Amino acid sequence: MSCVPFSVDHVQLLLDSFARLLGRELIPRDGSTAEQAERLFQAPFVVVSHGTEADPVLNYGNAAALALWEMSWEELTRTPSRLTAEPVHRDERARLLARTREHGFVDDYSGIRISKTGRRFRIEQAIVWNLTDDNGGHRGQAATFDRWTEIVG
């Protein structure tokens, strides 16, 4: 699977915002923007983001995210991000997003998420960051993590 054309510019937003806030790169930034987009899409860690709607909708998920949430690109990018958490965990998720909005990023998040098929997993040590364009405009939030544990039963 390859990146959809829209994601090349969005990946630059993800990467630029991450570097600005965390002072380091998420992936190597060599090569063209298309090569960087493909590198992020194929990365061995999860990256997801959502927009600024009143009920934010996911607008990016790399291959690791698509596999973890058991969704196609089309399904993922139509999903309100709140639905990645079970109803009982949505207040916790809302507090995380508010803390991220206030501080720019959070680098110690753990929480329970649910896939399209109902498979539950705990993400660990996630980094969540605000997406801002070159003019400082808020464009959403993103998250990355490489550790999760399946929850059985």
Domains in the chain, number? 1
The reply to whether 96 falls in a domain is yes
Which pTM value belongs to this model? Answer: 0.91
Asked whether residue 28 is assigned to any structural domain, the reply reads: yes
**Domain presence at residue 2:** no
The full length of the chain comes to 153
| pLDDT for position 96 | 80
104 occurs within a structural domain: yes
Q: What's the distance, Cα to Cα, between the start and end of the chain in Å?
A: 32
pLDDT band at 6 (very low <50, low <70, confident <90, very high): low
108 falls within a domain: yes
Fill in the amino acid letter for 109. Answer: Y
Residue 35 has pLDDT above 70, yes or no: yes
pLDDT in tens, 43-53: 999 999 999 99
Which domain, by its residues, includes 135?
7-151
What is the reported pLDDT for 1? Answer: 44
Residue 89 belongs to domain with CATH number = 3.30.450.20
Is residue 74 a part of any domain in this protein?
yes
| Residue 116 lies inside a defined structural domain of this protein | yes
pLDDT of res. 46: 98
Q: 1 in a domain, yes or no?
A: no
Closest CA to 85 of 110, 109, 115: 115
What's the mean pLDDT in 12-40?
96
